[in-house]
Amino acid sequence: MSGEEKVVCVTGASGYIASWLVKLLLERGFSVKASVRDLDDPRKTEHLLSLEGAKERLHLLRADLFEEGAFDALVEGCEGVFHTASPIAFSANDPEAELIEPAVKGTLNVLRSCVKVPSIKRVVITSSTASIWYNGKPLNSDVVVDETWFSDPVYCEQNKLWYILSKTLAEKAAWQFAKENGIDLVTIHPGISIGPLLQPTLNVSSEIFMNFIKGRAQKFPFPAYTFIDVRDVAFAHIQAFEVPSASGRYCLVGNVLNSYETLKILKELYPASSLPEECEDEKALLPKHQVSKEKAKSLGVNFTPLEVSFRDTVESLKEKGFIDI
């Protein structure tokens, strides 16, 4: 199926994952309506407007997750909706206002706009592994996490995992709303997305990766690194819309590594660099679980080799002036 003449929309288009999604959609011939929060900020728009095909087929609209009805104009006339916008932060002064409300209410706002538009065939939401495996079950090397796993909101709250709680509650609300309103919904659950940055600013997952290079890996709050290439994430979103049989949830993790392994690969790729000698992370050598790739493969995802993702991320961070190794 070709994207020619199909109109789709992407929320939070300035972001790391969404920018790649917009790029791939334009390359496939789609017309893309894309929401950004601040149309006057060139750091949020210029990288999108300079994409190939943008002049002819990219339309930027302003929308904020907090505003009821803000997405009506965006989804109007679309066949597919990709909802990626959601705040990411691992600490918050007011978790409810900064993370949970925009994630949950924002998702419902987008879905409420979708219900009004009969041309919409499917909605694809960018969820996360965050809503999959935070439930207190032991995660040792015998465990293969898959799409049947659900994070437990109570566990997240008890452990003050506010971003994870926001993604867990937003996904739950989305499935409930989709069921009640007959929306064909697919959710994509990427791990830590790495790979080249299109946007000029640093997003959280690129920062997590950069922290390795700067010797600050101990700041990472999770037991293992579930890496996935951002280009695979964008591709999976499009497949989730295009493949008629796509349904339900899709985990998207290429490799699970502990800190020690991550640093070892980086050192092999950049032997002459001044990478930290040792990982300061106390979880550096923890055994790690695996994440099933079977469902993602059924979408046609060919996972980018880890070394390619690592090298491309480092080169992109260097090119944009974030690191110097």
Ligand X SMILES: NC(=O)c1ccc[n+]([C@@H]2O[C@H](COP(=O)([O-])OP(=O)(O)OC[C@H]3O[C@@H](n4cnc5c(N)ncnc54)[C@H](OP(=O)(O)O)[C@@H]3O)[C@@H](O)[C@H]2O)c1
Minimum CB distance to ligand X smaller for 198 or for 246? 198
Nearer to ligand X, 203 or 273 (CB): 203
313 is a site residue for ligand X (CB under 6 A): no
* Residue 163 CB neighbour total at 10 angstroms: 24
Q: One symbol per residue from 269 to 288: x for binding ligand X (CB under 6 A), - otherwise; what is it?
A: --------------------
Of 45, 168, 205, 309, the one binding ligand X by CB under 6 A: 205
Q: Taking CB under 6 A as the rule, does residue 31 contact ligand X?
A: no
Q: Which residue stretch of 15-23, 49-57, 216-224, 263-271 sits at the interface with ligand X (rule: CB under 6 A)? A: 15-23
CA–CA separation, 11 vs 85, rounded Å?
5
Q: How far is the CB of 102 from ligand X (least distance, A)?
A: 4
Q: Show the tokens assigned to 170.
A: 């937003």
Footprint of ligand X on residues 234-253 (CB under 6 A)?
Answer: none
Binder among 31, 109, 113, 128 for ligand X (CB under 6 A): 128
Report the residue number, 122 or 167, with the smaller CB distance to ligand X: 167
Q: Is the distance from CB of 29 to CB of 4 less than 8 angstroms? A: yes
Phi, psi of 57 (to 5 degrees): -130, 10
Q: For the segment 52-111, give every residue that binds ligand X (CB under 6 A).
A: 64-66, 84-88, 102
Pattern 183-202, ligand X, x by CB under 6 A: -------x-xx---------
- In angstroms, the CA 102 to CA 65 distance is 6
Q: Report if residue 258 touches ligand X, rule: CB under 6 A.
A: no
By C-alpha distance, which of 169, 13, 178, 160 is closest to 104? 169
Q: Does residue 37 bind ligand X (CB under 6 A)?
A: yes
**Based on CB atoms, which residue is closest to ligand X, 216 or 273?**
216
Q: Which tokens sit at 130?
A: 């965050």
Residue nearest to ligand X (CB): 15
Tell whether residue 301 is a contact of ligand X (CB under 6 A).
Answer: no
Answer yes or no: are the C-beta atoms of 73 and 35 closer than 8 Å: no
Return the residue of 16, 71, 133, 222 that touches ligand X, per CB under 6 A.
16
Q: Which is nearer to ligand X, 110 or 139 (CB)?
A: 110
Report the nearest approach of ligand X to the CB of residue 65 (Å).
Answer: 4
CB 272 → ligand X: shortest distance, Å?
A: 28
Strand partners, 186: 124, 248
Closest CA to 264 of 275, 256, 274, 280: 275
Q: How many residues belong to the site for ligand X (CB under 6 A)?
A: 26
Nearer to ligand X, 150 or 273 (CB): 150
CB of 190 to ligand X, least distance (A): 4
Q: Does position 161 bind ligand X by CB under 6 A?
A: no
Residues engaged in binding ligand X (CB under 6 A): 12, 14-18, 37-38, 44, 64-66, 84-88, 102, 126, 128, 167, 190, 192-193, 203, 205
